[in-house]
């Protein structure tokens, strides 16, 4: 993730003065969101680290790692936490509003078009084909995650991933009950593996 040429532009600014205002947060997160075809993370990083220089690459990774532990979408959590750091609760609201505004407006328009024209045969086969491709994309993501996690050697915690897949994906058990058992199990195993 980190490369040398991405040092942020303004290193001299005093930290409090360098924090963006709520309006800047709103505009920046709306820009990120509107650009972000094919994944928000890449665009968030590009705009916040490289273009605006609001965070160094290291700071960005640190903040983002934390967002992955918490429930909810990574980027959404990032917007809340970064907004909070910059301008408190108003900052969080501004960043989330910016992040969700453009795609939600687009979703509402798409939803209306789908309800009205979704039954046209030509469009129907476009959607069917798109759905199949979207599934392929997600399979690729899942396989990449599995490959990155295994890296040549299987360990006990991969059984946790397998168990989650079988119970939730194959058997379709309710998520809440699966998580109630598997989260303590996964954490206990992580503790045991690091002992």
Partner 1 sequence: MKDDSGIFAGLIAIFALCSVTAVGSATSTVPEMHRQVVDLRGWIDDHTFSELFAIAQASPGPNVVFVALLGHYIAGIPGALVALTAMCLPSCTIAYCTARLIDRFRHARWRIIAQAGLVPITIGLVASSALVLARAADRGVATALVTAGSFALCYWTRVSPLIALALAAVLGLTGVV
Interface of this chain with partner 1, residues 145 to 164, rule: CB under 8 A:
145-146, 149, 157-158, 160-164
What dihedral angle (degrees, nearest 10) is formed by the CA atoms of 17, 23, 29, 34? -140
Give, as one character, the DSSP assignment of residue 6.
G
3-state secondary structure of 153: coil
User: Of all helices (H) and strands (E), which one includes residue 139?
Assistant: helix 121-150
Q: Taking contact as CB under 8 A, which single stretch among the options 6-14, 15-23, 52-60, 123-131 is the one that binds partner 1?
A: 123-131
Q: How far is the CB of 16 from partner 1 (least distance, A)?
A: 16
Rounded to whole angstroms, what are the CA distances from 141 to 117, 135, 144, 191?
Answer: 31, 10, 5, 27
Binding-residue pattern over the window 125 to 144 for partner 1, x denoting contact by CB under 8 A: xxxxxxxxxxxxxxxxxxxx
* Nearest residue (CB) to partner 1, 14 versus 171: 171
Site for partner 1 (CB under 8 A): which residue of 25, 55, 81, 94? Answer: 81
Residue 14, interface with partner 1 (CB under 8 A)? no
Burial label, 100 (beta-carbon count in 10 A; 0-12, 13-18, 19+): middle
Site for partner 1 (CB under 8 A): which residue of 13, 107, 120, 154? Answer: 107
* Nearest residue (CB) to partner 1, 49 versus 78: 78
Residue 120, interface with partner 1 (CB under 8 A)? no
- How far apart CA 95 and CA 80 sit, in angstroms, is 7
Residue 175, interface with partner 1 (CB under 8 A)? yes
Residue 181, interface with partner 1 (CB under 8 A)? no
Site for partner 1 (CB under 8 A): which residue of 38, 116, 152, 153? Answer: 38
Residue 34, interface with partner 1 (CB under 8 A)? yes
Contact, 96 vs 83, CB < 8 A? yes
Residue for token pair 């939600």: 104
Site for partner 1 (CB under 8 A): which residue of 45, 77, 87, 94? Answer: 77
- How far apart CA 166 and CA 164 sit, in angstroms, is 6
């Amino acid at each position: 993730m980190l490369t040398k040429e991405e040092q942020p532009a303004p290193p001299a600014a005093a930290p409090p003065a360098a924090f963006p205002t709520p309006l800047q947060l709103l505009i920046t997160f709306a820009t990120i969101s509107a650009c972000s075809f094919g994944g928000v993370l890449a665009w968030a990083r590009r705009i916040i680290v490289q273009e605006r220089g609001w965070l160094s690459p290291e700071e960005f990774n640190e903040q983002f790692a934390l967002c992955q532990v918490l429930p909810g979408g990574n980027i959404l959590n990032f917007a809340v936490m970064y907004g909070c750091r910059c301008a408190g609760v108003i900052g969080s609201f501004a960043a989330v509003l910016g992040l969700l505004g453009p795609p939600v407006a687009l979703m509402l328009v798409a939803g209306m078009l789908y309800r009205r024209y979704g039954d046209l045969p030509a469009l129907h086969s476009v959607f069917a084909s798109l759905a199949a491709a979207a599934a392929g994309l997600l399979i690729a993501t899942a396989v990449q995650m599995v490959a990155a996690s295994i890296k040549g050697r299987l360990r006990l915690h991969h059984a946790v991933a397998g168990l989650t897949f079988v119970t939730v994906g194959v058997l379709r058990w309710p998520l809440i009950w699966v998580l109630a058992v598997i989260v303590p199990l996964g954490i206990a195993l992580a503790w045991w593996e690091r002992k």
